[in-house]
Amino acid sequence: MTGPIKALSWEFVRRLSLTVPLIISILVLGPLSVEGLFWMAALPMGEVGITALSWHCLYLALGFILMATSLVEAYKGSYQRMFAFPVSNSFIASWMMVSAILAVVGQELLIHCLYRFTLSDWSMRAIFGDDHSLIGPCQPVFAMAISTLMAMYWCLRKFSFRKLFVCGVLVNCLGFWIGSHYYRSGFLAEARSWSTFTLLDATVCTAVIVTSWFVTWRGVARERCGDNVEHSFEKRVEVVTNWINTIIFPDGLRTHKSPEAAIAWNQWRHCGRGSALASGFGFGTLLAIMLFSSFGSRRDPEGVVVILLLIPSIVGFLTGSILGILAPPGSRERITMFLATSPLSDKRLARGLLWNAWWATLIAWGLVIIFGLLALDAAIVRVGGSSLQVQIDQLTRTSHHSLGVMILPLALLASGVLAWMLTATFVVLHWTGNHLLPLFAIVGVLAVVMGLSLLSFFIDKETIILLREGAMIAGAAVIVAGSLLGFWTAFQRKMIEPGSAALLLSFWVAESLLCWFILPAQPIHRLFLIGILMLSVSPIAMAPLAISRNRHVV
Amino acid sequence: MSESAVEIKGVSRSFGKTIALDEVDLSVSKGSVVGLVGENGAGKTTLLKHVLGLFKARTGTVRVFGKDPVADPESVLGEIGYLSEVRDLPDWMKIGELMSYTKAFFPSWDDAFAEELREMFELSPDQKVKTLSRGQRARAGLIAAIAHRPQLLVLDEPSSGLDPVVRRDILAAVIRTVADEGRTVLFSSHLLDEVQRVSDHVAMLHLGKMLLSSPMDDVLTSHHRLTVRFEQPLDSPLKIDGVLRCEGEGREWTVLCNGDRASVEHCIAQLSGELVDRAAPTLDEIFVARMND
């Protein structure tokens, strides 16, 4: 059987040849850049209220989710062809399971090696602490998790709600089992790291993997003979989504008020609501877990503010990246012909698309904040009212927090602006049709941040402060100058009305004044923020320019 | 008001080192049906994208009803009905939703006509696009393209991969109907017998160059297929001015010529050839001869 294994492995490696290096780069550079960002904001990691264990678990979960998503995509693209090969069902099930396990386990081992042999080891210690190794129980747990995921996928290909319920119960049991290793003294006590892997743990993991293989094998056999078609997951999901659509979402058969409304509806139904709900619920849950788990142990309530800003930023980035894609992945087009041939000016087309981005961000952000408030409420109950009083007193008394309790509503407002800013910036960068542009923007920013962060080891403190402030002012100046140029170009090409441009710039001035007079930060930081705030309005002027560039290829 | 529906002058475009269009000129009169033919990669889709304003002309000009489709997409696309080769209709939309969505863009949308087409094409308003077959997708795309009664219908390979029944729907029921109402159709196709059947005008692209752009009748009457028998077998094909293609072996050869038929016949007679048959070639034969010329 070396022939099929060799051929399938070659295809598997080719399919993952781009995504795996990308995932590994994100996981290797991510912690370093987080460290750098905190350093840029002059905020030591120890004071942000997030424990090393929380970072560690978050990091492992992110790595697993990214890799599992890539694997699902890789298998979905190849299994139909695999079924036509002269190989048995057990071979297909075994090959998929072994390759998936090797991929997820190998990924962490590779990253661990990269950390050990690069400068990033410093960042690793700073973020994860010394006692949270990436080698240990996480490898068999990853193997178990990916095989469970695969079994669920194949099991639910022939869908029934009973199966869904059983899968849900089993996943919760496994989650509880994993959680019990971190919360050995009970779920309300403080979490500890999981470092020893017992014989019982090994037995549980092996049993789950073997059972998963059996379920996968049965699912593959059913799929191969077309037994799943009539009861497919997609068909059942469609029934549910149709039902939800009739209750919550506007009826597509109605008459749209305007072409822009039709465009916004199309985008909303296509990807807006999905990304809004997924990121809102996903990151809302994450925020709730982070707030709930670290509330009692936090030294400084500033941590709440950091988390409130960090999570909506990720939401904004993801929403922008998803809504920015106007053509299906893998397509040669950069915008679908269906959208590009809409009889609308670039300005009106951009307006419809921006409406969708606005609603998606608002809903995702709203969900995240609701989850955050619920978590805070639960945390208050958990630590008791007196502890909360101590926290708030500390918040209002500390010299850093001259805003007093106002810091919390302001942080909420800022998180909304930040989420919109990132969504709008990334959609506009994507809408230009050059999908490398957002990547260049991220890599550029990270390169500056990491470069300065690393330079601090070799250059004296005064020089590095000077460099940091220089980078901040230069960055802000580039953003403001570029945005004003965008406004001017859009105005000249009649893509923005003078009144709208004036309104947007006035809004930016108002934001800047609020920032300048209210924030208790150094002037240089305030100037930097004012520059960044330009991104909350400039994408509105730039969106038609981006659409025009994409739609009418020069 | 411009007399031409589409006026393309000196348009060139290259992708890297590949020349997609090379100084292409094309004029499409109002009310005509123009078939755009060419091999794969000849530049047909690129030319149509210029008409739709999806490519900005680097050299030359493109005008649709006298307007620049890049500068004024709202006005130009409002007059156009377009069916794409890839039929990239949103998979998740239902037919009914697709119709009401498209209606939002066209004030001239004719509900009764759209409904009539939907019934004729046997599509249900509750069917989702992703559940449709290739032919049904083409039909759904056609409803979206023609229910607003566009002044110009642009079809990019409308019949590729479709069965004869759907092809008949598209060509007979749609193209001729639109043309009979005095509106203009510009379509690209590989199926030359269909182009010959429905077009008033044919434009032939080859490697980005416009080889031929003439009324269909002129193209058909200016080309001749002659069957010739020689006294002695010929070793190689004839090389006579005006002969585009010469096929056969031994004594009997088929010649496809263009232009002055009498002059070609005279040359053949001088080579001791006897004219056995004279017939009008099909567009398919003309196309193959032109491509190999």
Of B78, B88, B96, the CB nearest to A337: B88
Q: Which of A104-113, A313-322, A482-491, B91-100 has the lowest mean pLDDT?
A: A104-113
Q: In CATH, which superfamily holds the domain spanning B4-214?
A: P-loop containing nucleotide triphosphate hydrolases (3.40.50.300)
pLDDT in tens, A65-79: 888 888 887 887 777
- Residues above pLDDT 70, as percent of chain A: 77
A266 reaches B (C-beta below 8 A): yes
Does residue A36 surpass a pLDDT of 70?
Answer: no
- Min distance A188 CA to chain B CA atoms (Å): 45
Instruction: Give Cβ neighbours of residue B136 (< 8 Å, ≥ 6 apart).
Output: B121, B123, B127
CB–CB of B238/B255 below 8 Å?
Answer: yes
DSSP B107: T
Query: Of A82 and B186, which is predicted with more confidence?
Result: B186
**Confidence tier at A215 by pLDDT (50, 70, 90):** very high
Lowest-confidence segment of A49-53, A207-211, B43-47 by average pLDDT: A49-53
Task: Look at A251 and B138; give whichever has higher pLDDT.
Answer: B138
Sign of CA dihedral A257, A258, A264, A268: positive
Q: Which residues of chain B make contact with A553, given a CB cutoff of 8 A?
A: 54-56
User: Where does CATH 3.40.50.300 sit in chain B?
Assistant: 4-214
Residue A368's Cβ-side half-sphere holds a number of Cα atoms within 13 Å equal to 31
Q: Which comes out higher in pLDDT, residue A544 or A465?
A: A544
Read off the pLDDT of residues A504-523 as tens digits, 9 standing for 90 and up: 999 999 999 988 888 777 88
Q: Across the beta sheet with B80-83, what order do the strands follow?
A: B80-83, B152-156, B184-188, B33-38, B201-206, B209-215
Looking at residue B175, its pLDDT comes to: 78
Q: Give, in order, the Cα–Cα distances in Å from A51 to each of A126, A296, A301, A306, A311.
A: 11, 11, 14, 13, 16
Using the 8-state DSSP alphabet, how is residue A497 labeled? -
CA A494 to CA A95: how far, in whole Å?
Answer: 58
Residue-wise pLDDT for A423-441, tens only, equals: 999 999 999 988 788 888 8
Of chain B, the percentage scoring pLDDT greater than 90 comes to: 34
**Model pLDDT, residue B159:** 79
Q: Do A344 and B106 touch (CB under 8 A)?
A: no
Phi first, then psi, for residue A329 (nearest 5°) are: -60, 140
CB contact under 8 A, A252 and B78: no
CA distance A354 to chain B (A): 18
| pLDDT in the model for residue A348 | 93
**C-alpha dihedral, B259 to B260 to B264 to B265, nearest 10°:** 130
With both helix axes pointing from N to C terminus, report the angle between A436-455 and A407-431 in degrees, rounded to the nearest 10: 130
A470-485 average pLDDT score: 93
Cβ within 8 Å, pair A343-B92: no
| Residue B22: both structure tokens together | 């090379």
User: What DSSP element (H or E) covers B80?
Assistant: strand B80-83
Cβ-based burial of A321 (10 A; exposed 0-12, middle 13-18, buried ≥19): buried
A198 assigned to some structural domain: no
**CA pair distance B284, B288, nearest whole angstrom:** 6
Q: What is the pLDDT of residue A67?
A: 84
Provide the terminal-to-terminal Cα distance of chain B, rounded to the nearest Å.
Answer: 40
Q: Higher pLDDT residue, A115 or A325?
A: A325
Q: Which residues lie below 8 Å from residue A115, measured CB to CB, with a gap of 6+?
A: A28, A121, A124, A134
What percentage of chain A exceeds 90 in pLDDT?
Answer: 25
Q: Is residue A457 scored above 80 in pLDDT? A: no
Q: Which residue has the tokens 């053949």?
A: B268
Amino acid at position B90, single letter: P
Question: b/e for A235-245, b at 16 or more Cβ within 10 A?
Answer: ebebeeeeeee
Put simply, the answer to whether B84 touches A338 (Cβ < 8 Å) is yes
List C-alpha distances in Å: A54 to A107, A145, A285. Answer: 20, 19, 14
Give residue for tokens 């998606």.
Answer: A360
**pLDDT of B1 above 70:** no
* CA angle at B95 for the pair B90 and B98, rounded to the nearest 5°: 55
Please report the pLDDT score of residue A321 as a whole number: 87
Residue A279 falls within a domain, yes or no? yes
Residue A551: list chain B partners with CB under 8 A.
53-54, 73
- Looking at residue A310, its pLDDT comes to 80
Contact yes or no for A253 and B97 at CB 8 A: yes
User: For residues A336 and A249, is the Cβ–Cβ distance under 8 A?
Assistant: no
User: Is pLDDT at B85 greater than 70 in this prediction?
Assistant: yes
Pairing label, strands B223-234, B273-279: antiparallel
Nearest to A519 by CA among A373, A376, A381, A410: A410
C-alpha distance from B46 to closest chain A C-alpha (Å): 11
Across the range A490-500, mean pLDDT stands at 92
Q: Which residues have a Cβ under 8 Å from the Cβ of A207 and sit 6 or more positions away?
A: none
| Helix (H) or strand (E) segment spanning residue A170 | helix A161-182
3-state secondary structure of A442: helix
Shortest CA distance to B232 belongs to which of B266, B275, B271?
A: B271
Whole-number pLDDT of residue B112:
93
**HSE (side-chain half, CA atoms, 13 Å) at A204:** 16
Contact residues for A433 (Cβ-Cβ < 8 A; gap 6+)? A334, A335, A546, A549, A550, A553
Instruction: Provide the mean pLDDT of chain B.
Output: 87
- For the beta carbon of residue A383, count every other beta carbon within 10 angstroms: 15
Domain containing A542: what range? 256-554
Contact B104 A261 (CB under 8 A): yes
Give the residue range(s) of CATH 3.30.70 domains in chain B: 222-292
Contact A552 B94 (CB under 8 A): no
Q: Among positive and negative, which fits the CA dihedral A454, A455, A458, A461?
A: negative
CA–CA dist B88, B220 (Å, integer):
35
Digit-coded pLDDT (tens) for A256-309: 888 998 999 888 888 888 888 888 888 888 788 777 766 555 445 566 677 777
Q: Which residue, among A140, A112, A139, has the nearest Cα to A128 in the 3D structure?
A: A112
Q: What is the Cα–Cα distance from B233 to A324, expressed in whole angstroms?
A: 68
* Cα-based angle A514, A516, A518 (whole degrees, multiple of 5): 60
Domain assignment present for A235? no
The confidence band for A106, taking pLDDT boundaries of 50, 70 and 90, is confident
Cβ count within 10 A of residue A45: 16
Q: Which helix (H) or strand (E) holds A178?
A: helix A161-182
Of A259, A261, A270, the CB nearest to B90: A270
| Chain B contact present for A332, CB below 8 A | no
Rounded to an integer, the average pLDDT of B157-175 is 75
B-contacting residues in A 342-361 (Cβ below 8 Å):
342-346, 348
Among A80-94, A112-126, A469-483, B68-82, name the one with the lowest average pLDDT.
Answer: A112-126
**DSSP letters for A265-332:** HHHIIIIIHHHHHHHHHHHHHHHHHHHHHHTTT-S-THHHHHHHHHHHHHHHHHHHHHHT-BS-TT-S
Asked if A262 and B104 come within 8 Å (Cβ–Cβ), the reply is yes
Residue range A523-534, pLDDT digits in tens: 888 899 999 999
Residue B14 CB: number of other CB atoms within 10 A? 13
Tokens of B225: 């297929």
Residue A207: what pLDDT?
Answer: 94
Q: Are A348 and B86 a contacting pair at CB < 8 A? A: no
Higher pLDDT: A478 or A466? It is: A478
- Asked if residue A532 is part of any domain, the answer here is yes
> How are beta strands B4-15 and B59-64 bridged, if at all?
antiparallel
Question: Could you give the number of structural domains in chain A?
Answer: 1
Q: What is the pLDDT of residue A238?
A: 67
Residue A180 tokens read as 């019990």
Asked whether the predicted pLDDT for residue A50 surpasses 70, the reply is: no
Predicted ipTM of the assembly = 0.82
pLDDT score of B77: 92
* Residue A439: its H or E element: helix A436-455
DSSP labels for A28-90? Answer: HHHHHHHHHHHHHTT--GGGSS--HHHHHHHHHHHHHHHHHHHHHHHHHTTHHHHTTSS--HH
Residue A54 binned pLDDT confidence (cut-offs 50, 70, 90): low
Size of interface A-B (CB pairs under 8 A): 88
Q: Which CATH class is domain B222-292?
A: alpha beta
Residue A90 inside a domain? The answer is no
Distance (Å, whole) CA B126 – CA B97: 8
Q: What is the DSSP string of A186-217?
A: -TTS---------HHHHHHHHHHHHHHHHHHH
Could you tell me if A518 and A493 are in contact, meaning their C-beta atoms sit under 8 angstroms apart?
no
> Which structure tokens are listed for B118?
């939907």
pLDDT of residue A399: 44
Give chain B positions within 8 Å (CB) of A253.
Answer: 94, 96-97, 100, 125
Indicate yes or no: CB of B105 within 8 angstroms of CB of A343: yes
Model confidence at B6: pLDDT above 90: yes
pLDDT greater at residue A117 or residue B138: B138
What mean pLDDT comes out for the span B140-166?
86
Query: Nearest-CA neighbor of A145 among A183, A194, A87, A100?
Result: A100
Query: Which range has the top average pLDDT, A52-56, A355-359, A409-413, B177-181?
Result: A355-359
**The two three-digit tokens of residue A89, written as one number:** 């069902």
Kindly list the residues from chain A whose CB atom is less than 8 angstroms away from the CB atom of residue B88.
Answer: 328, 333, 336-338
Looking at residue A332, its pLDDT comes to: 72
Helix, strand, coil content of chain B in percent (nearest 5)? 35, 35, 30
Instruction: Name beta bridge partners: B28.
Output: B6
Interface of B with A (CB under 8 A): 52-56, 58, 70, 72-74, 76-78, 80, 82, 84, 86, 88-90, 92-94, 96-97, 100-101, 103-106, 125, 128
Interface contact A269-B92, CB threshold 8 A: yes
Of A130-144, A176-190, A242-256, which range is least confident?
Answer: A242-256
Q: How far is A275 from chain B (nearest CA, A)?
A: 16
Question: Cβ of B84 and A337 within 8 Å?
Answer: yes
How far, in Å, CA of A462 to CA of B212, rounded? 74
Give dist(CA B287, CA A192) in Å, integer.
78
Other CB atoms within 10 A of residue A26 CB: 13
Least confident of A45-54, B194-203, B252-261: A45-54
Helix B95-103 vs helix B111-120: crossing angle, to nearest 10? 150
Q: Which residue of B has its CA nearest to A254?
A: B100
Give the per-residue pLDDT at A86.
Answer: 83
Say what angle helices A161-182 and A138-157 make with each other, to 10 degrees. Answer: 170
Closest listed residue to residue A520, CA positions, set A352, A362, A404, A435: A404
Query: Would the pLDDT of A353 be above 90?
Result: yes
| Residue A422 in domain | yes
Q: How far apart are CA B16 and CA A426, in angstroms?
A: 28
What's chain A's average pLDDT? Answer: 80
Contacts of A341 in chain B (CB under 8 A): 52, 54, 77, 80, 82, 84
